[in-house]
């Protein structure tokens, strides 16, 4: 929850609309009634808003983070690094991969403009995805300065956001569409230049940097392009030192997300079998300026936890992660057996095993076994009055449906051996 | 976020007031304007509410959990066990230990009325607090049936909630106050009976159970008392098998929290040096009835994460938990040294160390050291151009302010030895 005025105006007009507002508590109409608010006037809802709502739900984690940094500036050591995993809310129409309430996992460094921070964030992306077993992630990287430099070269530097936004649609509307939209917005683009520009397709990141360095300076010095290419060249050279197992970094000169606020590197990651980005981020040179603290540069990435979870589910990785552990259920038949089973349970837990006893002794064994399988226990231990009399019990491997008879006193030892073998 | 009508009416009148309501998106006055709502009428805010708000913020985790269980009843295996750590919101006046937005950590079992579930929850409380290093936690346990039985014995069984609520104030208003309030509410309490009742003070839990079993049945059979004492006797006997290091369970026959919904055992935990409860819970025989699914018994506890964090802070335990780890910072002087430092950094990370490089090579060494200390790094490694030339570097233990000169190729080995010694 944030004060509404902390969020308003930070995400554009569309964003303002999508912020969930919280109704003031108590008699929330008090203020409006005292001011004799006229509910019949045009745009009444919009004008009434500041009188009935002062708080709102986080729209992302970046703006609240900037607010936090400014409020606690005197307490923090810069460069300040933090991660934050929390829900955010958007009053959007829900659809596949787009939720009204979802979790973002943000990692940011603020107060340092070194590109080593960008390098760290790439490592965190790789560590995050490989840790979850998600392979085949394409991490597209670009730089706003390069985009400006490209627009400069095409003679569109003064309206570069508009120009690039159209270029960014290449995938969706094709070359013809891009040229049509450029023409509609009165951009005159030399087709020959465009052809030469296109020749960077298929090159590696460092080849692209070299090719663009020559190309974009061909009409004279292009300071923006040079700055962007220097940053990208340095970052991609560093990345040659890393072993990527999950992430493949790519220089995508068309990537233009968040042009309204990013000032340097831009990141976006996705996988082929799932639409929509699963990570986004970039550098913003003046993160905290809007809250009265200029001069602090920040760079960050945000993992989309819900979409990542969707991928885990879709690929069957969520189950796999849990399946490697032993999960032991003791059956329960009440009576003396229950006392013994409880003693074994406590012993197993003390030895670090995940173990539970079926709570209700009156339920039939068949139903207890069914429960164990449905919940995903790996083993069931059967201790009833008879087993206590014989001081021996059956341990059932639920995956392999194999039963072993062992002394009750040896149950912990038995599972320790299984654990050690794994 | 929940639908407002899921939450309304579940927490009493006070609760309804304290629920944060979310304003509908778009033109939220549309509906009211169409219905020509009269904003001047009495209680306009209350009547307008259903037209401008359909969603609300979670007030606790229990009601949303009950809603979830009913919606997913066909998919779940019962007894269904879940934990849930999420923020909840209350439109209360903020004060020490009382927040508007705070995290609850709930553990519940639904679909089993076995007391082994209560026993499991006690173990979870102990594991949770001892895991955090919080000792001296008193876990007060009572049973609603016993409270009913006590009220029966005092001849107040028909208005037992009122009767017990006054008895529960004993700590605050003393015996005289309790008798005065009882008289005001027209409860006639035999002072002799009260004296006999009081004699359970100072007894152990199982002694209390025995004493009360004799006392409360002294005027004839007291079914409620018997049922409550059986449950408490069984639970406290089981707990004798546990080694408690953080939690001390106590039978507190005055504990009456949540009388309006708990039907069996009641739990509440606190520590002496911090006001307010840090865990609460109990059994509710009909958790899901209000959502149309009767007959499912539930029992659960809820840890108050923010208050527990406050205790960690107050007792200096938050720092302690983090201090045992190695945290290595490499200083950065740009140039050739930076390339070597980066190689060492990647090696350290690969070997599982928490290691960072100071990102900005132009910052003076003194400031970099200051930063390392302020952030809580345990060691600093100095690799500049000179060190690269000599292939040796200084490692500084920041706590003991001791420097060691080692070969650059031996840095990882050096920290591995420190880690193995710890």
Chain A contact for B79, CB < 8 A?
yes
- For residues A246 and A376, membership in a common domain is answered with no
In terms of domains, do A145 and A265 share one? yes
Residue B264 DSSP code: S
User: Are B62 and B131 in the same domain?
Assistant: yes
Q: Given this model, what pLDDT does residue A209 score?
A: 97
* CB < 8 Å to B101, chain A: 1
- What's phi and psi for A106, nearest 5 deg? -105, 140
Pairwise CB contact (< 8 Å): A360 & B23: no
Could you tell me if residue A159 is inside a domain? Answer: no
Same structural domain, A122 and A148:
yes
Which of B362, B371, B364 has the alpha carbon at shortest distance from B329? B371
In whole angstroms, give the CA distance from residue B250 to residue B383: 59
**Which of B304, B238, B221, B224 shows the shortest CA–CA distance to B269?**
B304
* pLDDT of amino acid B219: 85
Strands B21-23 and B80-89: unpaired
Q: What pLDDT shows up at residue A323?
A: 53
Which residues, in sequence order, are bridge partners of residue B45?
A: none
Domain assignment present for residue A167? The answer is no
pLDDT of A196 reads: 94
Residues B118 and B42 both lie in one domain: no
Cα separation, B318 vs A337, in Å, equals: 43
HSE (side-chain half, CA atoms, 13 Å) at B346: 17
Residue A320 binned pLDDT confidence (cut-offs 50, 70, 90): low
Beta-strand relationship, A53-56 and A2-3: antiparallel
Q: Say if residues B73 and B293 touch (Cβ distance below 8 Å).
A: yes
CB-based contacts of A158: which residues, under 8 Å, 6+ apart? Answer: none
B260 near B12, Cβ under 8 Å?
Answer: yes
| β-sheet bridge partners, residue A382 | A394
Who among A77, A109, A375 is closest to B371 (CB)? A77
Q: How far is A155 from chain B (nearest CA, A)?
A: 35
Residues 6+ apart with CB under 8 A from A105: A83, A84, A85, A128, A302, A303, A305
Q: Give chain B positions within 8 Å (CB) of A360.
A: 79, 112-114
What gap in Å lies between CA A319 and CA A315, rounded to an integer?
Answer: 10
Q: Pick the last residue of a domain from B303, B318, B333.
A: B318
Range of the domain at B342: 325-421
Cα diameter, chain B: 94
CA of B29 to nearest chain A CA: how many angstroms apart? 6
B354-365 per-position pLDDT tens digit = 999 999 999 999
A247 and A143 co-located in one domain: yes
For this complex, say whether ipTM is above 0.90. no
Q: What is the mean pLDDT of residues A240-256?
A: 94
Mean pLDDT of A125-147: 96
Residue B33 CA to residue A27 CA, distance in Å, equals 19
Nearest-angstrom CA–CA distance, B220 and B107: 39
Given strand A327-330, what is the order of strands in its sheet?
A: A354-357, A327-330, A379-382, A392-397, A402-407
From chain B, pick out residues whose CB is under 8 angstroms from the CB of A101.
1
**Whole-number Å distance between alpha carbons of B109 and A194:** 65
Nearby residues of A210 by Cβ (< 8 Å), 6 or more positions away: none
Residue A312 lies in a domain: yes
Of A318, A344, A376, the residue that ends a domain is A318
CATH number assigned to the domain comprising residue A409: 3.40.50.800
- Are the CB atoms for B121 and B239 separated by under 8 Å? no
Whether A46 and A137 map to the same domain: the answer is no
Secondary structure percentages of chain A, helix, strand, coil, to 5: 45, 20, 30
Taking Cα atoms as reference points, which of A32, A59, A108, A84 lies closest to residue A281? A108
In the prediction, which pLDDT does A313 show? 92
CB A411, CB A381: distance < 8 Å: yes
Cα separation, A357 vs B116, whole angstroms? 8
Return the sign of the alpha-carbon dihedral for residues B65, B66, B70, B71.
negative
Asked whether residue A307 is assigned to any structural domain, the reply reads yes
Q: CATH number for the domain including B66? A: 3.30.930.10
Whole-angstrom Cα distance, residue B64 to residue B56? 11
So what's the pLDDT on residue A324?
64
Answer yes or no: do B360 and A109 touch at CB < 8 A.
no
- How far does the CA of residue B111 sit from the closest CA of chain A (Å)? 10
What's the mean per-residue pLDDT of chain A? 93
> Looking at the domain assignment, is residue A178 inside a domain?
no
pLDDT of B161: 87
Tell me: do A331 and A310 sit in the same domain: no
> What is the C-alpha to C-alpha distance for residues A352 and A247, in angstroms, rounded to an integer?
35
Of B285, B302, B318, the last residue of a domain is B318
- Whether B32 and A17 lie within 8 Å, measured CB to CB: no
**Half-sphere exposure of A55 toward its Cβ, with a 13 Å CA cutoff?**
16
Q: How many domains does chain A have?
A: 3
The burial class, CB within 10 Å (0-12 / 13-18 / 19+), for B260 is exposed
Q: Which of A1, A28, A45 sits opposite B101 (nearest CB)?
A: A1
How many angstroms separate the Cα of B112 from the Cα of each of A139, A363, B109, B129?
A: 48, 10, 7, 26
Rounded to a whole number of angstroms, the distance from the CA of B253 to the nearest CA of chain A is 26
- Contact check, Cβ <8 Å, A349/B123: yes
Q: How far apart are CA B203 and CA B197, in angstroms?
A: 12
Contact in structure between A253 and A141 (CB atoms under 8 Å): no
pLDDT of residue B372: 96
Looking at the fold, whether A311 and A361 belong to one and the same domain comes out as no
Residues 6 or more apart whose CB falls under 8 angstroms from that of B45 comprise: A27, A28, A29, A30
Long-range pairs for A119-122 at CB < 8 Å and ≥24 separation?
A119/A235, A119/A238, A119/A239, A120/B356, A120/B359, A121/A267, A121/A281, A121/A299, A121/A300, A121/A301, A122/A235, A122/A239, A122/A242, A122/A247, A122/A249, A122/A267
Q: Is residue B182 part of a domain?
A: no
Residues B231 and B357 in one domain: no
* 3-class secondary-structure state, position B376: coil
- Tell me the nearest-neighbour CA distance from B403 into chain A, angstroms: 24
Phi, psi for B173 (deg, rounded to 5):
-115, 0
Nearest by CB: A48 against B29, B37, B89: B29
Which residues of chain A lie closer than 8 angstroms to B374, CB-CB? 77
Contact assignment for B87 to A91 by CB distance below 8 Å: no
Question: Which 115-144 residues of chain A touch chain B by CB within 8 A?
Answer: 116-117, 120, 123
Q: Looking at beta carbons, which residues of chain A come within 8 Å of B28?
A: 45
Determine the 3-state secondary structure of A154 from DSSP: coil
Q: Which of residues 360-399 of A touch B (CB under 8 A)?
A: 360-361, 371, 374-375
Residue A29, in any domain of the structure: yes
User: Considering only CB atoms, which chain A residues are within 8 Å of B23?
Assistant: 20-23, 49, 52-53
Rounded Cα distance between A405 and A21, Å, is 62
A341: nearest CA partner in chain B = B116
Of B414, B115, B178, which Cα lies nearest the Cα of A332?
B115
In 3-state terms, what secondary structure has residue A298? strand
A164-182 mean pLDDT: 91
Candidates B356, B342, B312; CA nearest to B408 is: B342
Closest by Cβ to B1, choosing from A17, A101, A238: A101
User: How high is the pLDDT of residue B260?
Assistant: 74
Residue A259 has pLDDT above 90, yes or no: no
Burial of B126 (0-12, 13-18, 19+ CB in 10 A): buried
User: Does residue B274 sit in the same domain as residue B148?
Assistant: yes
Which pLDDT does position A310 carry in this prediction?
A: 92
SS3 per residue for B73-91: HHHCCCCEEEEEEEEEECC
Q: Are residues A367 and A300 in the same domain?
A: no
pLDDT at A141 (0 to 100) = 98
Yes or no, beta carbons of A20 and B25 under 8 Å apart: yes
**Residue ranges for chain B with pLDDT beneath 50:** none
Which phi and psi (to 5°) does residue A262 adopt?
-70, 145
- Tokens 């340097």 identify what position? A264
A residues 301-360 near B, CB within 8 Å? Answer: 332, 342-343, 346, 349, 356-357, 359-360
Q: Please indicate whether, in this complex, the C-beta atoms of A360 and B25 are within 8 angstroms of each other.
A: no
Does any domain span residue B164? Answer: no
DSSP state letters, A187-247:
----HHHHHHHHTTTT--HHHHHHHHHHHHTTTS--HHHHHHHHHHHHHHHHHTTS--SSE
């Amino acid at each position: 929850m944030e004060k509404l005025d902390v969020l308003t105006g930070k995400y554009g007009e569309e964003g303002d609309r999508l912020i969930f507002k919280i109704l003031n508590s108590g008699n929330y109409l008090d203020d409006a009634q005292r001011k004799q608010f006229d509910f019949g006037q045009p745009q009444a809802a919009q004008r009434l808003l500041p009188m009935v709502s002062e708080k709102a739900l986080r729209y992302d984690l970046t703006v609240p983070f900037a607010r936090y940094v400014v409020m606690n500036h005197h307490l923090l050591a810069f460069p300040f690094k933090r991660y934050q995993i929390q829900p955010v809310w958007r009053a959007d129409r829900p659809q596949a991969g787009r939720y009204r309430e979802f979790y973002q996992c943000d990692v940011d460094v603020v107060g340092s403009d070194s590109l080593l921070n960008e390098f760290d964030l790439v490592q965190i992306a790789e560590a995050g995805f490989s840790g979850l077993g998600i392979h085949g992630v394409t991490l597209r990287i670009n730089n706003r300065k390069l985009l400006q430099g490209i627009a400069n070269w095409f003679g569109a530097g003064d309206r570069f956001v508009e120009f690039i936004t159209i270029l960014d649609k290449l995938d969706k509307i094709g070359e013809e569409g891009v040229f049509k939209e450029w023409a509609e917005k009165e951009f005159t683009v030399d087709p020959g230049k465009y052809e030469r520009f296109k020749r960077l397709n298929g090159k590696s990141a460092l080849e692209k940097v070299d090719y663009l360095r020559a190309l974009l300076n061909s009409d004279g010095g292009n300071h923006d392009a040079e700055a962007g290419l220097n940053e990208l060249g340095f970052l991609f050279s560093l990345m040659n030192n890393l072993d990527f197992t999950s992430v493949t970094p790519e220089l995508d000169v068309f990537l233009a997300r968040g042009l309204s606020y990013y000032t340097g590197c831009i990141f976006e990651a996705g996988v082929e079998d799932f639409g929509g980005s699963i990570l986004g981020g970039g550098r913003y040179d003046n993160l905290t300026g809007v809250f009265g603290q200029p001069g602090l540069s920040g760079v960050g990435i945000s993992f989309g936890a819900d979409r990542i979870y969707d991928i885990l589910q879709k690929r069957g990785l969520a189950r796999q992660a849990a399946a490697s552990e032993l999960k032991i259920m003791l059956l329960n038949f009440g009576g003396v057996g229950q006392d013994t089973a409880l003693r074994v349970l406590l012993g197993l837990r003390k030895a670090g095993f995940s173990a539970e006893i079926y709570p209700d002794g009156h339920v039939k064994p068949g139903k207890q076994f069914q429960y164990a399988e449905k919940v995903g226990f790996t083993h069931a231990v059967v201790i009833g009055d008879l087993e206590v009399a014989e001081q021996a019990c059956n341990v059932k491997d639920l995956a392999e449906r194999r039963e072993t008879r062992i002394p009750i006193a040896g149950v912990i030892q038995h599972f320790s051996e299984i654990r050690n073998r794994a």
